[in-house]
Amino acid sequence: MKKYLPGLLFLAMILTATVGSVASRFYETWDWQQKFKGEKVMPDDWTWGADILPGFESRFVKMDNAFDGPVRCTIIRKLAPQKSRKAFLYVHGFNDYFFQTEMGQRMVDSGYNFYAVDLRRYGRSRLPWQYPFNVRKMDEYFEDIDSALNQIRRDGNTDITLGGHSTGGLTVCYFAAMRGRRTGVNRVVTDSPFLEWNFSPFMRNVVAPMIGGLSPLSPNGKIKQGHCDGYAYSLLKQYDGEWEYNTDWKMIYSPPVTMSWVGAINKAQSQTMKHKDWIVVPLLVMTSSRAINGCNYTPEFSTGDCVLNPHDIRRRGEQLGIDSLRMVCEIDSGLHDLILSRKSVRDKAYDTMFRFMRTY
């Protein structure tokens, strides 16, 4: 054993250095509740490297400066073992980032090159001076999506599916509506897209638009979120779920949103519906079969969508795009993020996605 000890120690040192190198690319210390006072210096690292998720690789993309200074997005990929020209690009939701390794593995096992993008101010992409998840208009994310699509095409893919969950689902629908015939993808897949506020009619039709209308006067004004743990507890393995993720990036309690974020959502929702006929690619809208009301976790939270109202999503989803190229599907007892539901439920969501992608 002693003769192997130096080699084992050397291997341990290499592994420790590698893990430290990967971590240093993404993990920075900041407190979003404190005003950033340092210099806004963008890290100089734009090459592909090992991702925090085993088996995946990622790289940062430097974007044009935004209202809060330098910004970047992150492209994550896992290529199919056999040469393929089919690709799937995933866009995460609010208070979220890409961590769904099972999704990536299922895609490559089915012959798709898998890609995801952590949008600016989210997850891997967030920089110390950025308020988490903040945005002035959803069009900002188009540049991030375009960067990922350009990479996908450079990698030789010609058949591209654009997917999105929740706010990411709204973003990809908005992207398709605004781009029309210039969307640049073959189909769009959505998982509980944020097409409508889960509010009372008064809040939805009066208060939210009023906040959005006033947002130019105070774009960074904060609006507190409810102190609810029901959704996070239904997901996290340490509670009643089966998933592990970075709770600094996908927080148990969402931070306050800005007035400009509310305005950006309002505009994206209204413009998507106004230009719904401009969506010319095949579109899949998936939702849970039931809504869960409440705030603090009970076992019922593991049996439905506690974030948005699936009925409202389906109602709006059925108006988008071309009738003959649209599928709107319920996934029985699915969580808000359908692919994070219990296995029997998420299997149905995956089956629906793959059936849609094979059909269209």
Q: What percent of the chain has pLDDT over 90?
A: 81
Average pLDDT estimate for 303-312: 97
Q: What pTM value is reported for the model?
A: 0.92
Q: Which residues make beta-bridge pairs with 73?
A: 61
- Residue 19 within a domain: no
User: Across all residues in the chain, what is the average pLDDT?
Assistant: 91
Q: How many domains does the chain have?
A: 1
Average pLDDT estimate for 342-349: 98
- Residue 91 within a domain: yes
More confident residue, 62 or 214: 62
Q: What is the 3-state secondary structure (H, E, C) of 127-174?
A: CCCCCCCCCCCCCHHHHHHHHHHHHHHHCCCCEEEEEEECHHHHHHHH
- Residue 103 within a domain: yes
Over 60: is that where the pLDDT of 297 sits? Answer: yes
Q: How many CA atoms lie within 13 A of 259 on its CB side?
A: 15
- Residue 27 within a domain: no
The CB density around residue 5, as the number of other CB atoms within 10 Å, is: 9
- Residue 9 within a domain: no
**Terminal Cα distance for the chain, rounded:** 59
The residue segments making up the domain with residue 173 are: 40-198+266-293+305-359
CATH of residue 77: 3.40.50.1820
Over 90: is that where the pLDDT of 17 sits? Answer: no
Over 50: is that where the pLDDT of 15 sits? Answer: no
pLDDT score of 42: 86
Per residue in 74-123, pLDDT (tens digit) is 999 999 999 999 999 999 999 999 999 999 999 999 999 999 999 999 99
Over 90: is that where the pLDDT of 6 sits? Answer: no
Over 50: is that where the pLDDT of 29 sits? Answer: no
Q: What gap in Å lies between CA 305 and CA 195, rounded to an integer?
A: 14
Q: 147 with 77: CB under 8 angstroms? A: no
Q: What percent of the chain has pLDDT over 70?
A: 91
Q: What is the 3-state secondary structure (H, E, C) of the chain?
A: CHHHHHHHHHHHHHHHHHHHHHHHHHCCCCCCCCCCCCCCCCCCCCCCEECCCCCCEEEEEECCCECCECCEEEEEEECCCCCCCEEEEEECCCCCCCCCHHHHHHHHHCCCEEEEEECCCCHHHCCCCCCCCCCCCCCHHHHHHHHHHHHHHHCCCCEEEEEEECHHHHHHHHHHHHHHHHCCCCEEEEECCCCCCCCCHHHHHHHHHHHHHHCCCCCCCEECCCCCCHHHHHHECCCCCCECCCCCCCCCCCCCEEHHHHHHHHHHHHHHHHCHHHCCCCEEEEEECCECCCCCCCHHHHHCECCCCHHHHHHHHCCCCCHHHEEEEEECCCCCCHHHCCHHHHHHHHHHHHHHHHHC
- Residue 119 within a domain: yes
- Residue 118 within a domain: yes
- Residue 11 within a domain: no
Over 80: is that where the pLDDT of 331 sits? Answer: yes
pLDDT band at 32 (very low <50, low <70, confident <90, very high): low
pLDDT band at 35 (very low <50, low <70, confident <90, very high): confident
Over 90: is that where the pLDDT of 174 sits? Answer: yes
pLDDT band at 26 (very low <50, low <70, confident <90, very high): low
Per residue in 226-283, pLDDT (tens digit) is 889 999 999 999 999 999 999 999 999 999 999 999 999 999 999 999 999 999 999 9
The CB density around residue 276, as the number of other CB atoms within 10 Å, is: 18
